[in-house]
Amino acid sequence: MNRKQLNALSDQEIKHALIQTQLILLLISVMWILIYKNNWPYWKKVLTIRGDDHLFIFGVLPALVVVLLQIIIDKSVPRHWFDDDGMNERMMRALSIPELFLFMGLVAFSEELLFRGLIQSTFGIWITTLCFAVIHVRYLKKPLVIFVLVLISLLLSWLFAKTNSLIIPMVVHFIIDLLLGLLLKWQSNQSSL
């Protein structure tokens, strides 16, 4: 989809497409859980956090480091290396700040449930990382973006393996997407003034 087609979509159409995509991932996860991974002790184990410090050390800190590195990369490379024809900017314009919080929570939950909770626990880190990169199909023609996504996926996978908690990668994913989304929304508002 080019920039002109993207801008022709209403905010409601953008929101509908975003929610629909995440609901499809959730549906895949629920079906997988019901058919293959209906194991309550596993889910009870991975949906807990061990110790109060785990959330900060393995959740908040890595997310803030990734956001800081992303900002540094954005300032250091030509804009066209990260340009996605305005897709992310258009999505951020369509979402209010409360909607951004809710949507990024849905993204973090649905993607981490599928990728770390199901794919990684079944097929391992490398298949998970490959699938994570492929699902972000709109970036496949942007080598630097895919490289960064692969590194983030490996980080999320490592955090899941290290903590044995799905909550940790969900929190990291949420913070990264939320902060970068808020930054993009702010930059978009500044450039339209």
Q: Is residue 134 part of a domain?
A: yes
Q: Is residue 85 part of a domain?
A: yes
Q: Is residue 192 part of a domain?
A: no
Q: Is residue 16 part of a domain?
A: yes
Token pair in block for residue 115: 């990728």
pLDDT (0 to 100) of residue 192? 66
Q: Is residue 89 part of a domain?
A: yes
For residue range 152-168, what is the model confidence (pLDDT) as tens digits? 999 999 999 999 999 99
Q: Is residue 193 part of a domain?
A: no
CA 152 to chain centre: 9
pLDDT (0 to 100) of residue 117? 93
Stretch 117-134: mean pLDDT, rounded? Answer: 94
Q: Is residue 151 part of a domain?
A: yes
122-161 burial, b if ≥16 CB within 10 A, otherwise e?
eeebeebbeebbebbeebeebeebeebbeebbebbbebbe
Give the total number of structural domains in the chain: 1
Contact criterion met (CB below 8 Å) for 6 and 90: yes
Domain membership of residue 158 as a residue range: 3-187
The pTM of this model reads 0.90
Token pair in block for residue 49: 């956090």
